[in-house]
Structure 1
Amino acid sequence: MTSLEKPTEDAQDSRAVTEAALFEAFGGVRGMVETVVPGLLFVSIFTINKNLYWSAIAALVVSLLLVVVRLARRDTVKHAFSGVFGVAFGVAFAMMTGNAKDFYLPGMLYTLGLALAYIITTLAGVPLIGVLLGPVFKENLSWRTRNPGRKKAYAKASWAWGLILLAKCMILFPLYWWADTTQLGWILVALKIPPFLLAVWLTWVFLAKAPAPIDVFAEMEAEEQAEREREAAAGERESAAGRHRRDS
């Protein structure tokens, strides 16, 4: 292997690790499906019969079924559970107000809050995407003080997430006031995946070019192993010293 080939292979390995970690963190294809299906079912049924009750119940039931499927397959359920909570809040809010558009309002407010969280944490020097992905890459928060290049990449990614979600909110909130329920619902469904994919892709681009993460778990294991070896060596020295005293 030449000196030119090794960096290329290292870069490819880094990109592969980054891609796998992002896929795990954001739920992959199934996570996207679980995010879209309840809202799609709600707006589809409401478009046909204009019945808030049956539209809301159908969305809640399908979100619960997605969790059951995850549990039956012993898969990670965090994405499905987050979908259930989101749908449940939407159903409860719409039922209380009697306005079908309010099914979407909790999710819209959550999106706005998340956008602000990405922007504010980045301005504070602790970009949220780094906090979320640090454990996935086994680096925790080591990037804050020990890996400035990686911190810069996390800041860029957090800005991307914040601005993309903020742009999405700037489209949806006016529609909440001006559009009817079916118009808002179909546009919201259409805006579920593309902004998400754009933000994930930009995150991958920034992190693939960043320095490799510092594996703090491996460091801790190495320190523990070194400590055990020091204790064993100290014990051997004490035993040797004891035998020496007995022999003399």
Structure 2
Amino acid sequence: MSTADMTAAPAAAHATVEAAVRAQLSKALGGKRGIVEAAVPTIVFTGMWVATSELKLSLIVSIAAAVALLLVRLAQRSTPQFVLNSLVGIGIGAFFAARTGDAKDVFLPGILYNGAYAAGMLLSIIVRWPIVGFLIGSVTGDPTAWHNDSGLVRLCSRLTWLLMLPCLIRVVVQLPFYWAGQVTALGIAKIALGWPLQVAGLAAMVWVLARGRTPLQPAA
């Protein structure tokens, strides 16, 4: 297969921009299993904290749960990417909490991450290089060609807004709980605003995408 054929191959699987973005979003979220695996460490930590109020024990058990999920992935020879993401997330949270001795700091990295992600996406919209556009570029083989089409830029801006809203909502809801030191409320909020909110945001994006039929032009 030639280089040109390899470049065109991903695009050939999708006739429209909307179909390509839907496929890429599903891949990025890791499907249902990836979403569940991302939530498990937080669920375990919150449950242990409510039951014991022991920071160290709650961290150990939540990290052990993430490691167990990783071992299952490795045993099945399936991609461990999403389990590793959750393991890194709980590991960073554990580092923050261990340094301060305050259980609420387990959630601080997530709040900072969502705030930075939302700010980055907002900036990309303002400068008219919306982040979702690069999903299209990854399919066509040209990361920037989509920017020449004003219609695509508008579509990608709308989709980036929808991708940004869950991050912004998480910060707005969780930050007051963090300031108040409400660890249980933080855990519940993180779970409730995790995959359910992400699925809702994805559903809104799919609804927008389902209404359009923008032809997908592979890179020359």
Q: Where on the TM-score scale, by shorter chain, does this alignment land: which range? A: 0.7 to 0.9
Give the direction of change, closer, same or farther, for the CA distance of 1:162–1:152 in structure 2 (3 Å limit): same
Equivalent positions of 1:18-167 (< 5 A) are 18-132=21-135, 134-136=137-139, 138=141, 140-145=143-148, 147-167=149-169
Q: CA RMSD in A?
A: 2.2
1:194 aligns with 2:196: yes
SS in 2 for 1:194: helix
**Equivalent residue number for residue 236 of structure 1:** none
Q: How many pairs were matched up?
A: 205
Give the direction of change, closer, same or farther, for the CA distance of 1:194–1:59 in structure 2 (3 Å limit): same
Q: Aligned partners of 1:33 and 1:130: how far apart in 2?
A: 27
TM-superposition CA deviations, 1:36-92 (whole Å, max 9, x none): 110000000111011111111111122222233223333233222221111110011
AA in 2 matched with 1:89 = I
**Could you tell which deviates more after superposition, 188-197 or 34-43?**
188-197
- Asked if structure 1 preserves the Cα contact closer than 8 Å seen for 2:136 and 2:146, the reply is no
Task: State the TM-score, normalized to the length of structure 1.
Answer: 0.74
Q: Aligned partners of 2:139 and 2:202: how far apart in 1?
A: 15
| Bigger RCO (CA 8 Å, 6+ sep) | 2
SS in 1 for 2:77: coil
**Equivalent residue number for residue 182 of structure 1:** 184
Q: Aligned partners of 2:176 and 2:97: how far apart in 1?
A: 18
TM-superposition CA deviations, 1:150-206 (whole Å, max 9, x none): 222111111122233212211110111125211221122111122211221222233
Q: How far 1:141 sits from its partner (Å)?
A: 2.6
Q: Aligned partners of 2:214 and 2:68: how far apart in 1?
A: 41
Q: Aligned partners of 1:65 and 1:53: how far apart in 2?
A: 18
Q: Aligned partners of 2:166 and 2:173: how far apart in 1?
A: 11
Q: How far 1:210 sits from its partner (Å)?
A: 4.9
AA in 2 matched with 1:100 = A
Task: State the TM-score, normalized to the length of structure 2.
Answer: 0.83
Give the direction of change, closer, same or farther, for the CA distance of 1:51–1:203 in structure 2 (3 Å limit): same
What 5-or-longer segments of structure 1 have no aligned partner?
A: 1-11, 220-248
Q: How far 1:136 sits from its partner (Å)?
A: 4.5
- Asked if structure 1 preserves the Cα contact closer than 8 Å seen for 2:73 and 2:80, the reply is yes
SS in 2 for 1:134: helix
Q: Aligned partners of 2:156 and 2:150: how far apart in 1?
A: 10
**Larger radius of gyration between Structure 1 and Structure 2:** 1
Give the direction of change, closer, same or farther, for the CA distance of 1:179–1:100 in structure 2 (3 Å limit): closer
Q: Aligned partners of 2:172 and 2:24: how far apart in 1?
A: 30
